[in-house]
Structures are given as C-alpha cells and as structure tokens.
Structure 1
Amino acid sequence: MQPLFAGLMGNQELTTPEPPKPTEPDQTWEHYELWRAVKRAIYTLPSRFESELIISGVLATDLFAFNSSLGATIEEQVIESLNKLRSVWDPQQKYSLYSFERQPQTFPDVVLRASAPDVKPQVLMGIELKGWYALAKEGEPSFRYNVTPAVCAPADLLVVVPWALSKVISGSPQVFTPYVINARQAAEYRNWYWEHARGGKGTDRGVSLSSVTTHYPNKTDQISDQAQKDAGKNFGRFARSKAMDSYIEELFNDKLAGIPLSAWQKFLLLFTEGQTTESVEAGLNALANRARIAPENQRNDLADKFREIGDILAGD
C-alpha cells in the first residue's frame, strides 16, 4: 500500500497552497537502487517478520497498553528482520559493510551505518521507525513527528509498522503492511496541514521552524518545529494531518484470525468499556453483521468467536 493524501479540506480559500508532493532521492544518486530495494524489503516485512515473543494471560484492561509496553521491542525486532532481509536489499553484497542499527534519542532512530569507521559515507540512509499496536483505542497511530524538514536527508523515510498479537489476546506479534513515506515530505505535509488545511476557528496557525539544517543531527540539536499556538497539544500528531487516512482505512480491512482488524478493534473497545450484558450482546451481533460475511451461518460463527474471546477476557 502506498501512502495516499487527503485533498483540501472543507471550503478552503483558493489561495491555499497545494499539499507537498511525493519526493524521493535524485535518480542519479549512486545509492538510488539501494534505497528502492530497502523500500521493497520494508513492504515484505509482513511475510518475513520474526519474533521470539509469546504473550499470554493478558488482562483485558491491559490490552490497550501494548503500544507503550511492547512498542520498543517490536521496533527492535523490525530492525533485526530488515538485516535478515539483506538478500532483498543487497543481493549482490555491495553493501556488506553496512547494516541497520538503532540510534535512540536522535533522528532518525534507525540508520544504515557502516561497521568500519574508515568507510565513507558512514550513513547511507535513515528510517524514523514507529511501531503501532493496530488494535489500540484511538484507531490511529498516536506518535508525534515534530522533526523539521531540513534535517531529513533525501533518502530518509518515515515508516509506521502496525502489529497485533497472532491470536488477538495472546500469541506472537504479527505485523501488517507498513506505511512508508519520505521523511522530509512527511514533515512538510504536517506543517502544511497545520497552517492551511486543518479545521477549527482562529487565525494563528503559524509554525516556527527549527534553525537546524544538518542531516543526521546530534542528540542535543533542537530539531523540532513548533506550532506558534497549540492549546490542544496536537501539533506533531502526524495521523491527525489526514495523510494516513486512506492507508488506515485499507489496513483495517486486513484480517486477523479470519476477522477484519476494524471488527477486532471495535470489539475490544466495546468489551473494555464496562457496558451492560445486554449492550455487549447487541454490540457483538452488530459487529458480526458489519463484517460483510454474507452467509448467515458464517455471521453466527463470527459472533461466536467474539463471544469466545469475550468469555476469556471476562475470566481474567
């Protein structure tokens, strides 16, 4: 799935500038084919991702905390999987001295770096990697992306990897098709949305840009853009820029244990909200009917699956 962008929102003035267009490194760049191959490898993660984690015995009230409790572990395992996919992004072993590694607390948090200090360049590209527990309450990624466009190298990417447990409330992490966008374009789109396309009242929509322009900055560099007025603390919530809307809609049609992710997300939200028995039963039936499985017996089977997991959660 390629990232798709929402158009202008509502009745915008004719002077509203167009949103930033998709970007990529110059095709004359000597590592351009490597960059393309890395993107291909990222899209193969759902079939190649490996995890040694096995989760069981989770309380219903703890399910929505997975993103914070396991997010960093999942991201580390994504990096390991990318290195194991070298045959995809480096089939001729031209970059045998390079590997993906994490560099915490700075941007981007993953870089393709040379293992020997005398190899130039030391870093070929970077990935700002965000794991996303797809069954979280919000129904969208909650990460903040405040980096200023100027520090993003042309080959840098923002990658969001959605995941869930293979048996919904237990099992090993399973990843789904990632969201991939050029890092600079994402930063520009965030600023464009804040200044020109978001709804609401008020005229103070300015963004103060960071003065840092160095690619692969130091930890101490102040590389974040800031909204000049942000009472709701929403600036940087990239998913709220509408840039991921089409991707998220398509993602939630993917299935986990034979049931669309959207149905699981609504089910878990319904069950953990402390509803009455009658309202939960009505919600389960509604979810089964919304799953677009035509034969009545299959809808009943689907409702039974929801109830089965509901009983497991009730017993925790």
Structure 2
Amino acid sequence: MDDVTRYVLPKDDERTELRDGVVRALRAVPMHFTSPINIEGLSATDLFAMNTLLGGAIEDQTVATLNATRTIWDADGRWADYEFKRYAESFPDVRLEREGGKEPLIGIELKGWYLLAKEEMPSFRFKASADAMTVWDLIAVFPWSLSNVISGKPVLEPPYIEQAKYAADLRTYYWEHRSNSAQKVEHPSTHPYPAPGSLYSDIVHDDKGGNFGRIARVRGLMNEWVSSTMQTPLSGIGARWWVRFLKMFDEHSDEKSIRDKFERLAQATGHDSKWADEVLSHVRRLMEM
C-alpha cells in the first residue's frame, strides 16, 4: 500500500487554497447542521433502514449547510458567484460551480453513513476511476444518528475527508493485490466531471460478491476512522453497542431466543438470571415507546 501516495497540489493554483477552505468548512458542517426532519413512533427494529429512508435528504441538507458556511471557504468573497450543488445521478455528486459555468472548481463525492446500520461500517461503493476526478476533488463521509438515538432529529458527527483521486488509487491497488489470483482492474476512457450516463466507473472481472468499491474495507484508508467513529457515544453508550443490542431484535427473533441472548450476556458479565429478566422488562417498555 506504500506504493500509493496522495497527489501533490500545485501551490500556484488558486484551487489549492480554495480546497483547504472547503476542507475546513466540511469539518465545521456538523456544528452548523440543522434538519427539519423529526422521527417519532418508528419501531426500533426498523432503525437499520434509516439510511435508505433519509440518506438522500440528509446529503441535500449537508450541501445546504456547506453553502451556509461560505465565510469559511470564501472569506474574501472571491467565489461569490459560485455555490455547491448536488447532482444525485452524477459524479462527483456535489460540485462547486456557477450558474451556466463550465467546469466546476471542485467536486465532492458526498456520502452519509447511518451509525446504527447493521454492518457497523459504511456500505457504499466508490467505484469511480481515478481519471474521473482532479487532484482537488474530495470524498467526504458524514456519520449521522438521531438526537434521541431511536427518535428525534438527525445529528452529524465529524466527517471522514480524503483526496478522492488517492482513495480511488488505493482502492484499486487493494483490489488487485488482495490475493494471488486477483485480476487487473480495467479503467474506462473518461475525464474529470464526466457527463451523466457516461462510463466512468472502473471495471472488474472478479467481483461475484459485488464488493469492489467498498472502501471501508480497504486496509489503510478509512478503517481506523470507522473503528473510532463506532465508539461515538449516543446517550452515553457507544454506537457499536447500540447496533449489537438492536441486532438481537430482528424479525427472526422470538421471546425465547432474545432471552437466551440476555442469559449469555448475564453469564459473560457475572450477573444472574434475575438480572436478565429485569433487563428484558426494560427492553419491552423501550420497544413499546
């Protein structure tokens, strides 16, 4: 993996300074983020589907917040006629551009990650070829949860931000070296900010499981950040423990299987069966809220 390095940004290009400001603004987004969405009355067992239900709306609101923090990335008003726009069907899906302008100044591939998703890591695919992005483009992943864990408004956590072109290179290198039988990745003929509908994703011929592009699994890219983020406290309890708790209550679980899981938990933590009964009683009330 040491063979893959980040691209050096030209110091004499105005986009380099602009990019630095955009990175600062992205890091500030969670502090300024607001959402009109408020979730109530959702069954706790349905929480795992939240990213599918709300992911797009939260990404739209993240872009709106990025524009609202213009003083961070455009303190001098040099880019007053530019704004970030999201194009859900294009790559990258967020672009800093002006109305009727030509090529965007900077692109961001923006992803949301619901912290209580079953996988305990982002599951999105990042398949775009490195040729489809410039050295200034970014990939940004925003973890989010609900303010009251199982209800409330969306809350963003500090994002993962990386040079998109480097992330694409590292992903491809990882794929081609994951085993002795791994095949080479085929790169399409493309260019930065490809037109909608054009071929810009790398092509693989040994991906029966559909795992190419799952960069959360790429060693040395974002795995440490994922592990750290899963420790984010939600109402005082780390996100990963919420996920593991909620997994006990899938559609295939019955009262006996759930109780057995709590019995094993009680034994592992030195408690007796009475403790498991008390916990189950509290859980039933929680699930009825």
- Whether the TM-score (by the shorter chain) exceeds 0.5 is yes
Q: Take 2:154 and 2:213, find their aligned partners in 1: how far apart are those partners?
A: 27
Contact 2:120 2:230 (8 Å CA) reproduced: no
Bigger shift: residues 158-167 or 42-51: 42-51
2:7 counterpart residue number:
23
Bigger shift: residues 203-212 or 94-103: 203-212
Q: Take 1:227 and 1:189, find their aligned partners in 2: how far apart are those partners?
A: 15
Match of 1:144 among 109, 119, 125: 125
2:244 counterpart residue number:
266
Contact 1:267 1:284 (8 Å CA) reproduced: no
Query: What is the 5 A alignment of 1:104-143?
Result: 104-115=88-99, 117=100, 122-143=103-124
Match of 1:99 among 80, 83, 95: 83
SS at match of 1:129: strand
> Per-residue displacement from partner, 1:114-158 (whole Å, max 9, x unpaired)?
13x3x6x65110000111111100111111111010111111101
Runs of at least 5 residues in structure 1 that lack an aligned partner in the other structure? 1-7, 9-17, 290-299
Q: Take 2:109 and 2:15, find their aligned partners in 1: how far apart are those partners?
A: 19
2:158 counterpart residue number:
177
Bigger shift: residues 77-86 or 23-32: 23-32
Query: Aligned-pair distance for 1:187?
Result: 0.8
Q: Take 2:116 and 2:57, find their aligned partners in 1: how far apart are those partners?
A: 17
The answer as to 2:145 corresponding to 1:167 is no
1:237 counterpart residue number:
214
> Per-residue displacement from partner, 1:138-186 (whole Å, max 9, x unpaired)?
1111111110101111111011111111111100001111111111111
Identity of counterpart residues, as a percentage?
A: 36
Partner amino acid, structure 1, of 2:92: P
2:183 counterpart residue number:
205
2:169 counterpart residue number:
188
Query: Aligned-pair distance for 1:50?
Result: 1.0
Bigger shift: residues 24-33 or 151-160: 24-33
Q: Take 2:261 and 2:80, find their aligned partners in 1: how far apart are those partners?
A: 55
If the length of structure 1 is used for normalisation, what is the TM-score?
Answer: 0.81
Q: Take 2:27 and 2:236, find their aligned partners in 1: how far apart are those partners?
A: 21
Query: Aligned-pair distance for 1:284?
Result: 6.3
Contact 1:149 1:188 (8 Å CA) reproduced: yes
Q: Take 2:201 and 2:234, find their aligned partners in 1: how far apart are those partners?
A: 37
The answer as to 2:73 corresponding to 1:73 is no
Q: Whose relative contact order is higher, 1 or 2, with alpha carbons under 8 Å and at least 6 apart?
A: 1
Runs of 4+ off more than 2 Å: 22-25, 270-273, 275-287, 306-312
Indicate the RMSD between aligned Cα atoms, in angstroms: 2.5
Number of matched pairs: 279
Contact 1:24 1:182 (8 Å CA) reproduced: no
> Per-residue displacement from partner, 1:207-261 (whole Å, max 9, x unpaired)?
111111x211101210011112222221112212232210011111221112111
Contact 1:112 1:126 (8 Å CA) reproduced: yes
Bigger shift: residues 42-51 or 185-194: 42-51
> Per-residue displacement from partner, 1:252-306 (whole Å, max 9, x unpaired)?
122111211121121111233626242343466589x7xxxxxxxxxx9xx97x9
2:272 counterpart residue number:
none
1:84 counterpart residue number:
68
Contact 1:270 1:283 (8 Å CA) reproduced: no
